[in-house]
Amino acid sequence: MKIVDIVERTASIASPIRNAYIDFRRMTVSVAAVVTDVVRDGKPVVGYGFNSNGRYAQGCLLRERFIPRVREADPSTYMSEAGDNLDPFRLWDIMMANEKPGGHGERSVAVGVIDMAVWDAVAKIERKPLYRLLADRYNGGAAASRVFVYAAGGYYYPGKGTRELQDEMSRYLDAGYRTVKIKIGGAPLAEDLGRIESVLSLVSDGDRLAVDANGRFDLDTAVAYGDALAPYGLRWYEEPGDPLDYQLHADLATRYPGPIATGENLFSMQDMRNLLRHAGLRRDRDILQMDPVLSYGLVEYLRMLNVLDGTGWSRDRCIPHGGHQFALNIAAGLGLGGNESYPEMFAPFGGFSDDTPVENGRVGLPEIPGVGFEAKSDLIDRIRSLFA
Ligand code: MG
């Protein structure tokens, strides 16, 4: 078997929302299709991939480096041992040939887009939902049928006040979510506390509300916010400072008693390992949010889980960033603690299949081969129109 073609497109997910660091008025994603010569149900198997929100499309890197390397490779160098499927690890090595270590930049995003499409194809060729394939290969067959998800939103938005924020959170609760997350750090502390209290009045329990500063604060500000947040007993305090400032996290962790969450902007196993080594995170409460697409794909995420397993951290501390079906499959198949969700943002790439509503804060997965894109009509329609 072989890869017949790989194509990529750029799609817009622009919106006027803003967090403490960036706005999304020009946000894009890369979408890739990996076409194989394997036939299932009378058609060639095609795997699809795209990058999570927050980093931009990677068309240039894909076209100039990563796609040509796969196209030029002899199929015998990326087939599985039995010769009947793709080997995502061998393909990863082919994509990363002649790339120096460190300095990951956003090449990790480009590689992650192809990696998602490869895993989608691998599971389709094996006629399994991806989460069952992952459970069978890497988790002793144990797959979760339903996964904890929380509703991420609460962005800053022109003309959006407390009332609109409450309305948004109410929609999430009505849709079946129990836990919600809002942005902080894009307004003065007093105003953010007012936003937090307005949402707490809806969810009643601090454990059902997380806040996200998107890496905005210096240590003094992170501590000032931490002191103000501590009495609320929030679910977690996310990305208080620069994702690579491990000392800031270590200092904050000695003072802020509640869970700290971070990791969505660490794009390699080595950066994540440094986080565990140097950021003073507490394995009994803190949350690790590495994104399995932005950080070189699932092949690299499996390396991260290896590090985690070797350092006494439980996988249920992992709740990936991204809010899409791929990360949901990984959470269900590899025993993670949950997955992010953006019920009203980044459509159609965010969100889950049409027939698996969120109930009591959990969501199931469709029993179709692959990641499940074909069970999410708005997404598969958009993907097919991009490649038409
Ligand atoms: Mg975040």
Full pLDDT tens readout for the chain, 388 residues: 999 999 999 999 998 889 988 889 999 999 999 999 999 999 999 999 999 999 999 999 999 999 999 999 999 999 999 999 999 999 999 999 999 999 998 999 999 999 999 999 999 999 999 999 999 999 999 999 999 999 999 999 888 899 999 999 999 999 999 999 999 999 999 999 999 999 999 999 999 999 999 999 999 999 999 999 999 999 999 999 999 999 999 999 999 999 999 999 999 999 999 999 999 999 999 999 999 999 999 999 999 999 999 999 999 999 999 999 999 999 999 999 999 999 998 989 999 999 999 999 999 999 999 999 999 999 999 999 999 9
* CATH number for position 70: 3.30.390.10
- Say yes or no: 173 and 200 in one domain: yes
Domain total of the chain:
2
Q: Are 57 and 28 in contact (CB under 8 A)?
A: yes
pLDDT at position 16? 87
- Say yes or no: 305 and 353 in one domain: yes
For residue 12, being part of any structural domain is answered with yes
150 alpha carbon – ligand 1 mean position (Å): 12
For residue 73, being part of any structural domain is answered with yes
pLDDT at position 154? 96
- Say yes or no: 228 and 317 in one domain: yes
Q: Is 377 helix (H, G, I), strand (E, B) or coil?
A: helix
The single residue of 124, 128, 181, 183 carrying the catalytic annotation is 183
10 alpha carbon – ligand 1 mean position (Å): 23
Domain that holds residue 201: 137-386
The single residue of 104, 128, 249, 321 carrying the catalytic annotation is 321
- Say yes or no: 272 and 347 in one domain: yes
Q: Which residues contact residue 314 at a Cβ distance below 8 angstroms, ignoring those fewer than 6 apart?
A: 283, 337
- Say yes or no: 240 and 279 in one domain: yes
Token look-up 């969501």 returns: 363
Task: Enumerate residues with CB within 5 Å of ligand 1 (an ion).
Answer: 212
373 alpha carbon – ligand 1 mean position (Å): 24
Q: Which of 105, 127, 149 is the last residue of a domain?
A: 127
Q: Which residues contact residue 1 at a Cβ distance below 8 angstroms, ignoring those fewer than 6 apart?
A: 36, 37, 38, 75, 79, 83, 84, 85, 86, 125
The interaxial angle of helices 297-310 and 269-278, nearest 10 deg, is 30
Distance between alpha carbon 104 and the CA centroid of its chain, in Å? 17
For residue 44, being part of any structural domain is answered with yes
CA dihedral 179→180→185→191, nearest 10 degrees, is -100
Q: Which residues contact residue 220 at a Cβ distance below 8 angstroms, ignoring those fewer than 6 apart?
A: none
Which pairing describes strands 362-364 and 146-152: parallel, antiparallel, or unpaired? antiparallel
- Say yes or no: 89 and 62 in one domain: yes
For residue 81, being part of any structural domain is answered with yes
pLDDT at position 40? 98
Measure the N-to-C terminal CA separation of the chain; round to a whole number of Å: 24
Tokens matching residue 286: 């803190």
* CATH number for position 205: 3.20.20.120
Does 104 participate in catalysis according to the annotation? no
Question: 0.95 exceeded by the pTM?
Answer: yes
For residue 132, being part of any structural domain is answered with no
- Say yes or no: 122 and 160 in one domain: no
Strand runs (DSSP E) across the chain, as ranges?
3-12, 28-40, 43-50, 146-152, 180-183, 209-212, 237-238, 260-262, 287-288, 339-341, 362-364
307 alpha carbon – ligand 1 mean position (Å): 22
Query: Smallest Cα–Cα separation from 104: which of 55, 33, 48?
Result: 55
202 alpha carbon – ligand 1 mean position (Å): 22
Q: Which of 127, 159, 188 is the last residue of a domain?
A: 127
- Say yes or no: 170 and 251 in one domain: yes
- Say yes or no: 281 and 374 in one domain: yes
For residue 180, being part of any structural domain is answered with yes
Does 321 participate in catalysis according to the annotation? yes
240 alpha carbon – ligand 1 mean position (Å): 10
pLDDT at position 20? 86
- Say yes or no: 206 and 97 in one domain: no
Q: Which of 104, 127, 150 is the last residue of a domain?
A: 127
